[in-house]
Amino acid sequence: MKNYCQSKSFLLSLSLSLFLLLLTLTFTGGCSSSAPKGKTDAEVLYQEAVKNMQKERYLLATEKLNTLKSQHPYSYYATHAELLLADILFLQENYIESAAAYLSFKDLHPKHEKIAYVIWKTAESYYKQLPSTYDRDLSPAKEALKYYNDILVRFPNSPYDKETRERIQSIEEMLKQQEIYIADFYFKTDIFDSARFRYIDIISKYNDQKVQDHAMLRIVKSSLNLKEYSDCGKYADDYMEKVSSAYKSEIVSLKEQCSQKEQKTKQ
C-alpha cells in the first residue's frame, strides 16, 4: 500500500511538472520578437505573400497576409504582414488607404526598426495624392510636408534625405504658385481687398524677388483701385527701394497717380 501511494504521488508530481512546462512554453512562445529558426506556417504564408506581391498578384498576397494575421496574430511575421499590407496598397496606387495603413502601423509600432521607412512612405502616400497642377486641391500637401519634415528632424542623413528635400522644395513651389494664382484671380475679378490681403501675405512668406516684384506692384494697384490713396502712397514709398530696378518707374508712376487722386478728393 505504501509503495502504491509513493508511486501515485510521483506520477502526480510528474504530471504537474509537465503541465507547468507546457504552460511556460505556451506563454513564452505566444508573441515572438525574433525570427523563428525553422519553417513555420506563418513564415510560409509570409513568403508566399512576398512572392505574389513581387509578381503583382496583389489580391493573392493580401489574402495570404490576412490569413497570417488571423491565424497567427502573435507570430514574428504578424507585424511584418501589417507593413507589407500597407506596401501593397501603395503599389496598387491606393494612396489614401496606404497613408492610413502606414499611420496605423506607426502608431502601433513607434519603435519599429523600419519606422523611418514607414514615415517616408506615409509622406509619399500624401505626395502621390497631389495633382499635377497648382490650380487644383492641394490639401494633401500639408500632411506630406509634415511627414517629410519629420524624417529630416528625426532621421538626419537617412537614405531618404536627398529625395525628401527635393519633395519639400517641389511641394513648397506648388503652394507658392497656388497662392499667387488665387491672389491674381481676385485681382482680375476686381476683388481688390482680398487680392491685396493675399499679396501682402505672399511677400511675408517668399523671398523670391520675381514673386515679390509682382506682389508689390499688385498691392499698390489694388490700393489705387480701392481708392485708398493714402495707403497707396505709403505702399509705393515702402516698396520703392525693395522692388527691382526694372519696376521702379512703374512704382513711381503709381505713386504719382495716387497723389493726384488724393489731391482731387481734398478739393
Answer yes or no: do 246 and 261 share one domain: yes
| Domains of the chain: total | 3
What is the model's pLDDT at position 134?
93
Identify the helix (H) or strand (E) that includes residue 48: helix 41-54
Q: Which three cell numbers stand for residue 144?
A: 506630406
What is the model's pLDDT at position 218?
98
Amino acid found at 1: M
CA–CA gap between residue 206 and residue 209 (Å, rounded) = 8
Answer yes or no: do 258 and 227 share one domain: yes
The fraction of the chain above a pLDDT of 70, given in percent, is: 85
171 in any annotated domain: yes
Of 153, 178, 203, which residue constitutes the final position of a domain?
178
Res. 107: pLDDT tops 80: yes
Q: Please compute the mean of the pLDDT values over residues 158-164 and round it to a whole number.
A: 96
Of 74, 92, 110, which residue constitutes the final position of a domain?
92
Q: Please compute the mean of the pLDDT values over residues 107-120 and round it to a whole number.
A: 97
> What does the buried/exposed string (b/e) look like for 48-79 if buried means 16 or more CB atoms within 10 Å of the residue's CB?
bbeebbeeeebeebbebbebbbeebeebbbbb
What is the model's pLDDT at position 10?
43
Answer yes or no: do 130 and 165 share one domain: yes
Least Cα distance to 98 among 137, 73, 131, 126 occurs for: 126
Query: Tell me: the pLDDT tens digits for 168-221?
Result: 999 999 999 999 999 999 999 999 999 999 999 999 999 999 999 999 999 999
Task: Give the range of the structural domain holding residue 67, as residue numbers without chain letter.
Answer: 44-92
Query: Tell me: the pLDDT tens digits for 26-58?
Result: 434 444 445 545 588 999 999 999 999 999 999
226, 192 Cβ separation under 8 angstroms: yes
263 in any annotated domain: yes
How far is the CA of 244 from the CAs of 182, 187, 207, 223, in angstroms? 23, 21, 13, 20
82, 105 Cβ separation under 8 angstroms: yes
101 in any annotated domain: yes
Answer yes or no: do 138 and 156 share one domain: yes
Q: What is the largest CA-CA distance in the chain?
A: 132
Res. 128: pLDDT tops 80: yes
128 in any annotated domain: yes
CA–CA gap between residue 199 and residue 213 (Å, rounded) = 10
68 in any annotated domain: yes
What is the model's pLDDT at position 267?
67
What is the model's pLDDT at position 12?
42
Answer yes or no: do 171 and 104 share one domain: yes
Q: Please compute the mean of the pLDDT values over residues 104-109 and round it to a whole number.
A: 97
What is the model's pLDDT at position 264?
85
81 in any annotated domain: yes
Q: How far apart are the first and last CA of the chain?
A: 132
58 in any annotated domain: yes
Least Cα distance to 170 among 201, 130, 207 occurs for: 130
pLDDT category of residue 6 using cuts at 50, 70 and 90? very low
CA–CA gap between residue 150 and residue 140 (Å, rounded) = 16
Identify the helix (H) or strand (E) that includes residue 264: helix 245-266
Higher pLDDT, 12 or 197: 197
Q: Please compute the mean of the pLDDT values over residues 86-105 and round it to a whole number.
A: 98
